[in-house]
Amino acid sequence: MTNIAPAVAPPSSSRLTPAFLVGVTLVGLHVVVGLLTLIWTPYDPTAMTGGRLAPPSFAHWAGTDRLGRDLFTEIMVGTRIALTVGVGAVAIAATIGVTVGLLAAFASRTIDDVLAATLDILIAFPTLLLAMLIVAASDGASLGTAIIAIGIAASSIVARLTRILARRVLAMDYITAARVSGTGWPCVVRIHVLPNIWPTLIVNFALQFGLAVIAEASLSYLGLGAPPPNASWGRLLQEAQATVYTAPFGAIAPGIALVSLVIGLNLFADGLRDVADPTGRRR
């Protein structure tokens, strides 16, 4: 008789907490705004459509910046940039991290120890610091460089988590039974390992998404992210720093956008942890 790996229980509606619904709502609003900028914005993001540092009004809902550009339009474009960076960085981190983590889980003890030590060293460095070093070593600051840098910096965390989860699954009795029955390692990974570690990985990806958004804003604030005229939230905050007392809404508006997206992603990740709880599996 062949043992079957435990299947992941389907999400239960009773686990959809209010915090999860709030997170989905916040993230969903930002996604809608980001997609909307592909076809429409109130003004041209680079056009000077009003007076310098104008307060919020019916014509300019968030006021204007120091060059007379509509701030609400720039924040909308910044939403698209933040989501692009998050998706790109998480995709890179997932590809590299999951691959390295699985290799470490299946490797010999010596290779596993080397990989584990290397991951520990990389994790010891803050993600932002590693991203800054990668950007500084590249040809120049750009949105693509920021995405690659953040993704590579976050991949060590994903790799370490994948290694731990995969080794835990490989120690189960049904893995031994599958190997005795003649199942090859590629099939073991596809049928048994990945389905049993994806719930925890998905939660981590949601958290990494929020960290990537913060890292991109930080890089742009330091001049290492998306260069002008890209309306990154970090660049908007940096430009508003000099006029924060005379025109505070120039810093408040992008700050609210950044905080709301990160809070939404964190609430979304917490909700996913309840919905896709590995301990809630059933046979």
Band the pLDDT of 283: cuts 50, 70, 90: very low
Band the pLDDT of 125: cuts 50, 70, 90: confident
Sequence-separated (6 or more) residues with CB below 8 Å from residue 28:
none
Full domain range(s) for residue 184: 16-35+67-280
Sequence-separated (6 or more) residues with CB below 8 Å from residue 140:
none
- Give the residue among 205, 115, 126 at the shortest CA–CA distance from 160: 115
CB 83 within 8 A of CB 30: yes
| Residue 174 domain flag | yes
Q: How far is CA 146 from CA 161, 194, 235, in A?
A: 23, 29, 14
8: tokens are 């992941």
| Residue 11 domain flag | no
| Residue 57 domain flag | no
| Residue 118 domain flag | yes
In eight-state DSSP terms, residue 193 is I
CATH number at residue 259: 1.10.3720.10
pLDDT tens per residue, range 20-77: 999 999 999 999 999 999 999 999 998 988 889 999 999 999 999 999 999 999 999 9
pLDDT tens per residue, range 73-109: 999 999 999 999 999 999 999 999 999 999 999 888 8
| Residue 42 domain flag | no
Question: How many domains does the chain contain in total?
Answer: 1
| Residue 3 domain flag | no
| Residue 49 domain flag | no
| Residue 44 domain flag | no
Q: Compute CA 219 distance to the chain's CA centroid, rounded to the nearest angstrom.
A: 15
